[in-house]
Amino acid sequence: MNHQPGLFAVGTRDHYHLEFDLRPDVDRAALATALAGVHEARGLGSVNLVVGFGAGTWARFGDEQPDGLRPFDPIEGTDGHGVPATQHDVWVFAHGTGRDTVLHAARAIVAAMAPVATVAVDRPSFMYLDSRDLTGFIDGTANPGLDEAPEVALIPEGSPCAGGTFVIAMTWVHDLASFDALPVAEQERVFGRSKPDSVEMDDATKPANAHIARVEIDDDDGEELEIFRRSTPWGTASEHGLYFVAFSADLRRYDLMLTRMFGLGDDGVRDRLTDFSTPVTASYYFAPSADALEALIGSA
């Protein structure tokens, strides 16, 4: 099954994430008509699109169901840190290069969805410098390359919904005043990598609560469980953060990483990054293969 091409179209600098709540009583034909309109927005300024559905929505309108899809559950971590569950029904990721064309496409997507849904999250985001987070650290160093990304992100052939992917979408709000007040050596201990060039600390130096020490996880066979990240910074001078988005062949990997980030793993250690950034939205979506999406659109 063909995946949605927008998943792996990398290098685009202007991103836009829209999360929608479906109106009650929407039927398959009305949703399909709206999605056909969303698809047409691709032509506006050569924008790439990825469309995903919440578990409840895909259970209603998708033909085949992927193993393990469910809504995001809230996380109550240690020291009062946690993640709220703000699950919505449909997620559309538009990305290209040019804030103007991406906004133009986003407005067309909202107009196409208006008969069936209301906008719940409206989040333009952007690539910052050489792919850095607003903390100044390079984000994506350990991301799988494009040769490996499909294996990491796509449900394999032979499984239900092959070519689809599980998506996590979260809005994080940064406290940059506190983070910037740390000496650079201390900032590096928050992530476990050097600031200018993203060199990983060796195991003897890397703190147990460094971000990468929390999210580097292995399965029972010692194989690293990877995800493919496409997060980008968002915001203004006064309010800003990261829209965290990733694709995985298996939803469980996100649960394991978040458990360890919020101090609920076996060692009880909490990610120090959560002292400087707070998640305010979190949802799981399923982005079906291009064929499965077209089958839904074709039922209009």
Minimal CB distance to ligand HEM: which residue?
Answer: 142
Task: Give the one residue of 49, 90, 94, 257 binding ligand HEM; rule: CB under 6 A.
Answer: 257
Q: How far apart are CA 264 and CA 279, in angstroms?
A: 16
Q: How far apart are CA 300 and CA 112, in angstroms?
A: 14
User: Cα dist. 224→136, 192, 204, 247, 258 in Å?
Assistant: 26, 18, 20, 15, 16
Shorter beta-carbon distance to ligand HEM: residue 120 or 142: 142
Rounded CA Rg of the chain: 19
Q: In DSSP terms, which residues pair with 224 in a beta bridge?
A: 218
Site string for ligand HEM, 201-240 (x = CB under 6 A): ----------xx--xx----------x-------------
Least separation in angstroms between residue 94's CB and ligand HEM is: 21
The region of 32-40, 119-127, 159-167, 191-199 touching ligand HEM under the rule CB under 6 A is 191-199
Choosing from 14, 89, 133, 139, the catalytic residue is: 139
Nearest to 119 by CA among 12, 231, 38, 60: 38
Nearest to 106 by CA among 128, 123, 127, 120: 123
Task: Give the one residue of 154, 258, 293, 297 binding ligand HEM; rule: CB under 6 A.
Answer: 258
Nearest to 250 by CA among 153, 149, 151, 157: 153
**190 in contact with ligand HEM (CB under 6 A):** no
Burial of 223 (C-beta count, 10 Å sphere; 0-12/13-18/19+):
exposed
**153 in contact with ligand HEM (CB under 6 A):** no
Residues 263-292 that bind ligand HEM (CB under 6 A): 273, 277
Residues 82-141 that bind ligand HEM (CB under 6 A): 133, 137-141
Task: List all residues 6 or more positions away from 174 whose beta carbon is below 8 Å from its beta carbon.
Answer: 134, 135, 240, 241, 242, 276, 277
Catalytic residue flag (residue 21): no
Shorter beta-carbon distance to ligand HEM: residue 109 or 215: 215
Cβ 234 vs Cβ 240: under 8 Å: yes
Least separation in angstroms between residue 260's CB and ligand HEM is: 9
Least separation in angstroms between residue 293's CB and ligand HEM is: 25
**20 in contact with ligand HEM (CB under 6 A):** no
Task: Give the one residue of 16, 228, 254, 262 binding ligand HEM; rule: CB under 6 A.
Answer: 254
Give me the amino acid identity at 213: A
Which residues contact ligand HEM (rule: CB under 6 A)? Answer: 133, 137-143, 172, 191, 193, 198, 211-212, 215-216, 227, 242, 244, 254, 257-258, 273, 277
Task: Kindly list the catalytic residues.
Answer: 139
